[in-house]
Each structure stands twice: as structure tokens, then as C-alpha cells.
Amino acid sequence: MQTRLFITGASGNTGRAFLGDLFRSPLARDADIVCLTRPGDPLGDLCAWPVRTVEGDARDAGSISGAWDGDRAIVNISSIYHSEAILRGCPGARSIVAISSTGLFSRFRDEAVRIEASEKIVTSSGIPWTIFRPTMIYGTPIDRNMSKLIKYIAGKRVILLPGGGKSLFQPVSAFDLASCITASLLSPAAAGKSYEISGGSVHPLREIVEMIAGILDRRIMMVPVPLGAAIAALKILPSLPVKPVQIMRLLEDKVFDHSAASAELGFSPVSLDTGLRRQAELMGLLPR
């Protein structure tokens, strides 16, 4: 059967990594790929792939339906929260692969309950589905997490660590997550399953900061900041682009078992050091 995909979020961090992986796979033969992009989105290297881009809003079923031409598999990379609108806007879809989040397991229940409800929309859709729950995604110059931290460390000598930076993280490279999406499209056995997707190594935040500083050849001073003081600072300076709940979530260990994805989809994530070195190189920040 011809590979016919309708991809949301293709112009983002994971989306671009997925397209690169997709067109190196057997799925690329005779593929017909449509990518939904928001009006005004920079298409950049999307133009390098043999895909058709259509404008629309993944939050709006009416907007999506104008771009939908039927009989395709959906790959929803934009947000699990858009699942209802996407499924309503794509009647007759063959199947759906949806990117969710390990935030489902957070003790901060507002986010977890919202993710759970969005996943239920996918699992009750009546079409074959696969859900991936990645940890923090990193790996490209446009990611929303590590790229900001790398840039910050590249320009600062003093780094504040809320809670002392003791909590554990297991970030996953966008390129590794992309390989899982491709593998699931090639494996009928992935239908009806959800997978936790985590990185190849586990580190406390303090160690991650040290790792980045070492990669950038930067000397830094790390200053532990009590959690209460960090939250109080955000209340005094509400213009800062960080929310109190984001600071509180830094105290949650984010370590997850990806053995199911390894066994069933051949998932083999890189270590964080390897992934960060590649990211710093892509950002043009490796010391010469």
C-alpha cells in the first residue's frame, strides 16, 4: 500500500527530524506526504523534502478539513492536545500516531489530567492508533528546552540551580524519537500500543549543566537556589518566561523505562553527552 501521510507539526523540532528519518526508510518509496503548517510558519528545510505543504491550524477542525483529502494515516506531532480537532477534521483516516508526553505521570495533576483526556480521544477514535510519550525532547537548534539552556550557558558565568539541581532527567533526542515514529509506521504490531520514550542516559540537572559547560569549554559557577526563593522571584518578576509550576517540576525525577520500544521497535537512544555534542555542533557553538 502506498505511504500516504498527513503530518501536523512537521516544521518543528521533532517534525523535521521525522521527515529526515522517513525519507531514509522504505516508506519513502512512492510516498505521498502532506504537511499541515500554520500560516506564516517558516518552511525552511521542509522544502528539501518531496512533500506538499498546506496551511491550516491543528487546533481547528474546520481549518484542518480544508487541507484533508482523505485516505491517509495521521502523524500528529504538533500536540496531543490537538487530537480532538485533528480527528474531527480528518474523517476516514487510516490510522493515527500521536506524540503525547511523560507529563501524564506528573504529580502536578492539572497537566496530567489534560494529557490523559487527550490520549483517550485517540484511543477511542475507532482507528488503529499508536501513542508515544517522550521525556524532554532535545537535539536541534529549534528545540524548546536544551537549546535555550545551551545558549544561556554559552553566555553566562553564573548558573542558578533551583533546588540544587539534584533531580534526575532522561532527555530524548528528537532524532531518536523520529526513528520510533518511522518504526511504528513499518510495524503493524505497534497498533493499539503506547510507549514511553526516554534517552540513553540519566543525569541530575547539575550534571547536565556541567556537561554542557564542558562541551562548550566554558568555566561556570553553579549556585544552588532554594525552591521557595526561586518561586518568590518569579512572583516578583512575572515578566520572566518561566512559570512557578515549571520550577516545581524541576524537583520531579523524570526517569522512564523505554524497554518496550527497544524490544518492539528497535529503539536505541544515544547518551545525553553524544546528543548534546551533536546539538551544539548544529547550533554552531562547538569551540574551534
DSSP β-bridge partners for residue 96:
74, 129
- Classified as helix, coil or strand, 241 is coil
The average confidence (pLDDT) of the chain is: 90
Q: Does the pLDDT at position 187 exceed 60?
A: yes
What percentage of the chain exceeds 90 in pLDDT? 71
Alpha helices in 23-142 (DSSP H): 61-65, 83-89, 109-123
How would residue 243 be classed by pLDDT, with cut points 50, 70 and 90? low
- Determine the pLDDT at residue 232: 66
Whether 240 has a pLDDT exceeding 60, the answer reads no
Give the separation between CA 81 and CA 110, rounded to whole angstroms.
13
| pLDDT tens string 163-185 | 788 889 999 999 999 999 999 99
**Percent helix, strand and coil across the chain, each rounded to 5?**
45, 20, 35
Residue of 267, 152, 157, 164 lying closest to 206 (CA atoms):
164
Whole-angstrom distance, CA of residue 182 vs CA of residue 265? 9
- CA 46 centroid distance within chain: 18
Domains of the chain: 4-134 (3.40.50.720), 137-171+199-253+270-288 (3.90.25.10)
Confidence check: pLDDT of 82 > 80: yes
Banded model confidence at residue 276, pLDDT cuts 50, 70, 90:
very high
- What confidence tier does 231 reach under pLDDT thresholds 50, 70, 90? low
Quote the pLDDT of residue 33.
96
Over 70: is that where the pLDDT of 237 sits?
Answer: no
For residues 236 and 239, give the distance between their C-alpha atoms in angstroms, rounded to a whole number: 9
The dihedrals phi and psi of 95, each to the nearest 5 degrees, come to -170, 175
Q: What is the pLDDT of residues 90-127, one digit of tens each?
A: 999 999 999 999 999 988 778 899 999 999 999 999 99
Quote the percentage of the chain above a pLDDT of 70: 91
pLDDT for residue 182: 97
SS3 38: coil
Q: pLDDT-based confidence at 210, cuts 50/70/90? A: very high
- Model confidence over 7-62: pLDDT tens digits? 999 988 999 999 999 999 999 988 999 999 887 776 667 778 899 999 999 999 99
64: three-class secondary structure by DSSP: helix
CB proximity list for 36: less than 8 A, separation 6 or greater = 6, 7, 8, 10, 53, 54, 55, 56, 58, 64, 67, 78
Coil, helix or strand at residue 193 = strand
What integer pLDDT is reported at residue 26 of this predicted model? 94
